[in-house]
Amino acid sequence: MGAIKKFDTGLDASNSKPVKIEMPNAGQLSDSSRMLGILQNDTRGFERLAQFLKTRCGIDLPTTPKNLSLMASRLRKVLEARGLPDYDSYADLLEKERPADMNEFISALTTNTTHFFREAEHFKHLAKTLPVYLNEKKSRELRVWCAASSTGQEPYTILMTILETGVLQKGVTIKFLATDIDLQVLDKAARAVYREEEIENVPSDLRAKYFEAKSDPSGGSWFRIKPSYASQIRFARLNLMQSEWPFQHKFDIVFCRNVLI
């Protein structure tokens, strides 16, 4: 059992007189709380940014108390860091269409909840139907697209599922594209590095086959998709609201579950 951490009670045991404890700057705390309250009640500013998000990204945030709170909690730190007082000031900034500003806005408001083998029945269906499809397909090339791929757990799950059917042994070549609008999550996906708790849904045999374990100086464990497998997926930014998608070929498999969510 590890050592129990000792906490200061605020009393000097020798004379039982209070000991001064440094507290966080109360003014800063109240300023942040005040900012959060202002944003949560700024319905007009919320609707301006929500319309901006829907027009640029196709993400619909109806005006509800839950969404007012969500946007306020996610954008408060962004506005504070930029020294902006309200949503209107931020919207004015975004209308300049600078890529760095847009990427920050999108990263703050997109939800990237995902994990390996999420809703496993979908992957079981893929494993069951893929051999039948390949038997009927004339070409030996299998094209796959994972839209809204987030931090990579879904496309890597799809890849493992496909490879476990033995398609490579049948001479099939895989062309796999994974896209997302958020550059930050694409960066993590391309690096293919995950904490131990992030791969807990991966069966042990697949973990041993497709991942390599590492540890850091602090004793933490992390896992990386082996490069020979990670290199089979190309990650790229794509905004589904674009009028044209830059695809030259049709896909055999399309996963768009995160888009529908």
Q: Give whole-number Cα distances, 243 to 106, 246, 248, in Å.
A: 19, 10, 15
Spatial distance between the Cα atoms of 82 and 56, rounded to a whole number of angstroms = 22
Specify the DSSP element, H or E, that contains 204: helix 204-210
Catalytic, out of 74, 143, 224, 257: 74
Q: In what order do the strands lie in the sheet with 253-255?
A: 233-237, 173-180, 141-146, 253-255
Secondary structure (3-state) at 139: coil
Annotated active-site residue 140? The verdict is no
Catalytic, out of 42, 48, 76, 180: 180
Annotated active-site residue 44? The verdict is no
The neighbour count for residue 129, using CB atoms within 10 Å, is 12
By annotation, the residues acting in catalysis are: 74, 180
